[in-house]
Amino acid sequence: MAIIRPFRALRPREDLADKVAALPYDVMNSEEAREAVKGNPYSFLHVDKAEIDLPVGTGLYDRAVYEKARENLYGFADKGVFIREDRNALYIYRLIMDGYAQTGLVACTSIDDYLNNVIKKHEFTRADKEEDRIRHVDTTNAHTGPIFQTYVSKESITGIIEAYKAENKPCYDFVSDDGITHTVWTIRDDETIGKLADEFSSVESLYIADGHHRAASAVRVGVMRRSAKPDYTGEEEFNYFLSVLFPSNELRIMDYNRVVKDLNGMSEEEFIARVSENFEVTKFEGEGQLRPMRKHTFGMFLGGSWYELEAKAGTYDESDPQKRLDVAIMQNNLLHPILGIEDPRTDKRIDFVGGIRGLDELERRVGLDMKVAFSMFPTTIMDLIDIADAGEVMPPKSTWFEPKLRSGLFVHTLD
């Protein structure tokens, strides 16, 4: 029984939406963000990465960063860059990348649904990252970045959304610098809002696809606000957080590939022999690069050549939603036992390359600072759902979602 609720968004003027919209704060560092905002005083990075407006060297977690974020956010409102909706609304948010469209519903979801596991998770969170976003939400009094969630697709929800799109004009429609088309429709009529809320009330579970730290932080702030207001009713805005909900059948997860600095003291011949214990190894004779086309197969770039690896029987458990994941097969049968990478979260010998960068990047890294690269078959959205339903967590760097939601198009304030 998932709860969704409309909200009075703070959002950019139509003519400035393309300038405000920014990639999420956690996909770039401060130097990259400073470069990205040059010539664009409207970028939402001035809110989500406010250190860019402070002297170089200011600590990321300095109190001044959060205060600057608040100043910039409400400065946008005071200057008319942002407008405040005059009533509660939902939004339809469609992204088109390389001809492929995915359409989500922007709404507020319940912190109680998160606490009661109606909203399910598949990642651990780090305390320092949670604390950063807690301070950001609490100081700005707003959720500035939406939580990317999914649900098992439901034709009745899709039908309502598609009908509304067909009958109404969008409030935003622009192409971002990376070629992705962003289109937004505002739903203000109570009848459509009510229908969508009723349909989601029969959705058993929502699943966080991306944004675990933002979600956990939003919930923590909501709980803090409840403690400070013992007579809270549950209707206050701090009881809900900003989300975009996509049907599972429209989402694409890209490959998340691995590169490793060395062969753990082995020669190439010794390494291939060890790999052959758990994988069928075949030298790739085709042209170009080797992109795996099915589960339990991998590409390996070593010594200027590509090899296909196929996991042997007994190296995984198809009945276990975690152990059957290709990222787990790679970790449990090669990266850890052969290359000695026990914890890929902390080991400095391994790096990860999102599929959006292509297999050329793997070859480039091997030529630059790495010894071997592995191309992966993408994790599926149903893999993610199965893991979350089982109450387990994904291995690190399992999913790379594209296209990325833009921050700044919708802000949910907590009062």
Domain CATH for 371: 3.30.1760
Residue 238, pLDDT > 90, answer: yes
pLDDT at 342: 95
Tokens of 13: 């003027």
- Do 147 and 234 belong together in one domain? yes
pTM of full prediction above 0.85 = yes
Residue 345: the pLDDT is 86
pLDDT of residue 396: 84
Residue 388 lies in a domain: no
121 domain-assigned: yes
Residue 329, CB-side half-sphere exposure with 13 Å CA sphere: 26
226 falls within a domain:
yes
294 within domain boundaries? yes
Compute φ and ψ for 294, nearest 5 degrees. Answer: -155, 165
Same domain, 272 and 185: no
Q: What is the mean pLDDT of residues 264-277?
A: 98
Task: Say yes or no: 204 and 276 in one domain.
Answer: no
Q: Do both 87 and 123 map to the same domain?
A: yes
Instruction: Report the distance separating Cα 264 and Cα 271, nearest Å.
Output: 9
Q: Is 123 found in the same domain as 11? A: yes
Kindly tell me the burial class for residue 246, based on how many C-beta atoms sit within 10 Å of its own C-beta (0-12, 13-18, 19 or more).
buried
Please answer whether residues 403 and 256 qualify as being in contact, where contact means their C-beta atoms are separated by less than 8 angstroms.
Answer: no
Residue 413: predicted pLDDT: 98
Same structural domain, 245 and 269: no
Task: Give yes or no for residue 151 having a pLDDT over 90.
Answer: yes
Q: Could you tell me if 75 and 130 lie in one domain?
A: yes
What is the tens place of the pLDDT at every residue in 10-68?
Answer: 999 999 999 999 999 988 899 999 999 999 999 999 999 999 999 999 999 999 999 99
227 lies in the same domain as 268: no
The answer to whether residue 130 sits within a structural domain is yes
Q: Which domain holds residue 206?
A: 4-252+402-413
Is 383 contained in some domain? no
pLDDT of the residue at 26: 87
Residue 91 lies in a domain: yes
Upstream peptide bond of 403 is cis (omega within 30 degrees of 0)? yes
Whether the predicted pLDDT of 262 surpasses 90: yes
* Whole-Å CA distances, 406 to 20, 44, 255: 9, 9, 21
Residue 217 has pLDDT above 90, yes or no: yes
Amino acid at 334: L
pLDDT digits (tens, 9 = 90+) for 174-187: 999 999 999 999 99
358 and 242 in a common domain: no
Query: How does pLDDT run across 279-307, given as a tens digit for each residue?
Result: 999 999 988 899 999 999 999 999 999 99
The confidence score (pLDDT) of residue 2 equals 97
> What confidence tier does 138 reach under pLDDT thresholds 50, 70, 90?
very high
pLDDT of residue 27: 85
Residue 41, in any domain of the structure? yes
Tell whether 43 and 63 lie within a shared domain: yes
pLDDT of residue 300: 98
The closest of 64, 86, 72, 69 to 8, measured between CA atoms, is 86
| Residue 16 shares a structural domain with residue 42 | yes
Whether residue 322 sits in one domain with residue 236: no
Collapsing DSSP to helix, strand or coil, 338 comes out as coil
Query: What confidence score (pLDDT) does residue 362 get?
Result: 98
Average pLDDT, the chain: 96
- The structural domain count of the chain equals 2
